[in-house]
Chains A and B, each alone.
Chain A
Amino acid sequence: MQLNITVRLARYPHAPGRRFSEFRVGLEERMTVLDALFRVQREMDSSIGFRCSCRVGMCGTCAVLVNRVPRLACATRVAALKADVVTIEPLPRYPIVKDLAVSLAPFFEQWRRTLPAFRPKDPDSPVPARIPATSPFGRLAASKRDCITCGACYTACSITGTNTGYLGPAAINRAFLRLLDPRDAAGDDRLRVLDAEPSGVWRCHTQFNCAAVCPRGIDLTDSIGRIKRALLRPRRAFKE
């Protein structure tokens, strides 16, 4: 016997008094939320709007709110939700384009402020830089560099909800990666942005919501904490 689930989709622009559309979808083994969305679009309502690209959790395009938690639709199995009703909404804090599709403009506005691009100390050097595996960059980069800019952490962070100027966890983590990099030359400029009030790292209340929802498992709160300590003890920055 095939089990059915109810998929509740947030619609935008929505009809007066009707914010959600409901669909009954047959549950299949290993079915993801994105599979369910495609099933609805192909078989029930071709007008629903959502975004996706890689379908394997690499691009971050399909991040949505599933049962009130930010998740990647392609990496979330419906069965794992253990719910008869799956409510899918667009990520909060972002302007909605249509239904589940949002514009990540506020996210990237903050992202750009931290000077995310690599700025080499010696751009013309013919000798490749040697970075020991035991250096802070060597030890920490692997666990911090997998951000796919899905915007889930920015949505889950309660500070971005009350302070639209706050940099947000992903942008801070990106700056942290650059600060660790011994080849980078823009450290002071980045630290100035990170130390600024009321948009810098000091706004973080250590709630761990960003780390809880990151689909790549990056401990973003840890990156923020390390920057805070580095700002307080500049001489010992990133030595621990």
Chain B
Amino acid sequence: MIGSVRDVSRKYRWQFSGMVAWVIQRVTGLLLLVYLLLHVRTVSKLSEGPEAFDAAIATFRSPLFRLLEIGLLATVILHALNGIRITLIDLGVGGDRQRHLFWALAIGVGAIVFLAGAIPMFLFGIVRG
């Protein structure tokens, strides 16, 4: 079992990283769609009056939703940076370096931006929240 996981990881880490990037783009796209629907539903509560909107917003102040917010940040960053990578490749820039672009731009830069946002969100939103 561990051996096969190691084999798959080795295979997809570099040789098929283009496929990994494609899957990540689709999954994060679907997650953002779910978020968008939730967002529209929350904003639509305004039509029911201030109390209904405040009640909806109060739900998002729970620690679970604060954690999900950090997950949302990761999803947005991955989708955006991977989208920039795909756009560059479609424009004919960096196609021969697509693996490097994925790991350096989408994952590397993405991890730095994520940590810069996630640490304050965690400290001030959950620990001291």
* Residues in chain A within 8 A of chain B (CB atoms): 67-69, 83, 158, 205-209, 211-212, 219, 221-222, 225-226, 228-229, 240
Q: Report whether B18 and A212 are in contact in the complex, using a CB–CB cutoff of 8 Å.
A: yes
- Given A83-B7, A205-B22, A206-B89: A221 touches B16 (CB 8 Å cut-off): no
Question: In angstroms, how far is the closest chain B Cβ from the Cβ of A89?
Answer: 15
B11 within 8 A of A: yes
Q: Report whether B7 and A208 are in contact in the complex, using a CB–CB cutoff of 8 Å.
A: no
- Given A225-B89, A225-B95, A228-B90: A207 touches B18 (CB 8 Å cut-off): yes
- Given A67-B7, A225-B95: A209 touches B16 (CB 8 Å cut-off): yes
Digitize B1-41: 1 where CB-to-A-CB distance is under 8 Å, 0 elsewhere.
Answer: 00000010001000111110010000000000000000000
Question: In angstroms, how far is the closest chain B Cβ from the Cβ of A129?
Answer: 27
How far is A169 from B111 in the complex, measured between Cα atoms in Å? 33
Q: Hey, which chain B residues are within 8 Å of A207, CB to CB? A: 18-19, 22
12 extra interface residue pairs, beta carbon distance < 8 Å, beyond A158-B19, A205-B22, A226-B92: A68-B11, A83-B7, A206-B18, A206-B22, A206-B90, A208-B18, A209-B16, A212-B19, A219-B95, A221-B95, A225-B89, A229-B91
Digitize B59-91: 1 where CB-to-A-CB distance is under 8 Å, 0 elsewhere.
Answer: 000000000000000000000000000100111
24 A-B pairs within 8 Å (CB atoms) are namely: A67-B7, A69-B15, A206-B18, A206-B89, A207-B18, A207-B19, A207-B22, A208-B18, A208-B98, A209-B16, A209-B18, A211-B18, A212-B15, A212-B16, A212-B19, A219-B95, A219-B96, A221-B18, A221-B95, A222-B95, A222-B96, A225-B95, A228-B90, A240-B92
How far is A41 from B12 in the complex, measured between Cα atoms in Å? 32
How far is A127 from B19 in the complex, measured between Cα atoms in Å? 47
Q: Hey, which chain A residues are within 8 Å of B16, CB to CB? A: 208-209, 212
Residue of A nearest to B16 (CB): A212
Q: Number of A-B pairs whose CB atoms are under 8 Å?
A: 46
Chain B contact patch, size range: 10 to 19
Q: Hey, which chain B residues are within 8 Å of A67, CB to CB? A: 7
Residue of A nearest to B89 (CB): A206
How far is A229 from B95 in the complex, measured between Cα atoms in Å? 13
Question: In angstroms, how far is the closest chain B Cβ from the Cβ of A124?
Answer: 37
How far is A205 from B18 in the complex, measured between Cα atoms in Å? 10
Q: Report whether A225 and B92 are in contact in the complex, using a CB–CB cutoff of 8 Å.
A: yes
Question: In angstroms, how far is the closest chain A Cβ from the Cβ of B114?
Answer: 24
How far is A226 from B90 in the complex, measured between Cα atoms in Å? 9
Question: In angstroms, how far is the closest chain A Cβ from the Cβ of B51?
Answer: 47
How far is A240 from B91 in the complex, measured between Cα atoms in Å? 11
Q: Hey, which chain B residues are within 8 Å of A240, CB to CB? A: 92
Q: Hey, which chain B residues are within 8 Å of A226, CB to CB? A: 92
Q: Report whether A69 and B11 are in contact in the complex, using a CB–CB cutoff of 8 Å.
A: yes
Residue of A nearest to B98 (CB): A208
How far is A67 from B15 in the complex, measured between Cα atoms in Å? 14
